[in-house]
Homo-oligomer: A and B are copies of this chain.
Amino acid sequence: MWMQKTISLASKKRGFHLITDEVLSQLPELKEINVGLLHVFIQHTSASLTINENADPTVRGDMERHFNVLAPEGAPYFKHTYEGLDDMPAHIKSTLIGVSQTIPITQGCLNLGIWQGLYLCEHRDNASCRTIIVTVHGE
CA distance A69 to B72 in the complex (A): 11
Interface positions of A (Cβ within 8 A of B): 2-4, 35-37, 39, 41-45, 50-53, 56, 58-59, 61-63, 65-66, 69-71, 75, 77-80, 88, 91-92, 94-104, 106, 111-116, 131, 133, 135, 137-139
16 sample A-B contacts, Cβ–Cβ < 8 Å, listed by A number: A2-B138, A44-B113, A44-B116, A45-B53, A45-B115, A52-B95, A56-B80, A61-B80, A63-B91, A63-B92, A65-B77, A95-B97, A100-B102, A104-B135, A106-B133, A113-B131
Chain B residues positioned under 8 Å from A114 (CB to CB)? 43
Contacting A66 at CB < 8 Å: which of B44, B77, B100?
A: B77
